[in-house]
């Protein structure tokens, strides 16, 4: 399982489309994959749909950074956990923390 993958939604840090990321995972017989784009979850719906279509277990997360400093990788256990991850990011963005 890969737990810190970025798509092009990570802007300067990710170069792969979600489709290419999943295609590569499938080619390497990956059975579970976590998308942890930096400071956002914009690609998660597409990621989950594509993973399910390709027989890969999708794992939702976000990598938290402050500038170039890596702070956390948040992985959600379920939909409620994913809501909490997004609430965390939203709170910190709104409060400029």
**How do the domains of the chain map onto residue ranges?**
2-94
Least confident window among 5-9, 65-69, 85-89? 65-69
User: Alpha-carbon Rg of the chain, whole angstroms?
Assistant: 13
Burial (CB < 10 A; 0-12, 13-18, 19+), residue 31, is: exposed
pLDDT tier at 3, thresholds 50, 70, 90: confident
Taking all residues of the chain, what is their mean pLDDT, rounded to a whole number? 91
Q: What is the DSSP letter of 8?
A: G
Question: Which pTM was predicted?
Answer: 0.87
pLDDT of residue 67 exceeding 80:
no
CATH architecture assigned to 2-94: Alpha-Beta Barrel (3.20)
């Amino acid at each position: 399982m890969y737990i810190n993958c970025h798509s092009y939604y990570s802007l300067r840090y990710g170069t792969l489309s979600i489709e290419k990321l999943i295609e590569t995972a499938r080619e390497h017989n990956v059975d579970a994959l976590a998308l942890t784009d930096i400071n956002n979850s914009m690609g998660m719906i597409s990621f989950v749909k594509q993973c399910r279509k390709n027989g890969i277990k999708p794992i939702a997360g976000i990598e938290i950074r402050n500038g170039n400093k890596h702070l956390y990788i948040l992985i959600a256990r379920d939909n409620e956990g994913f809501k909490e991850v997004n609430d965390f990011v939203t709170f910190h963005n709104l409060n400029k923390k």
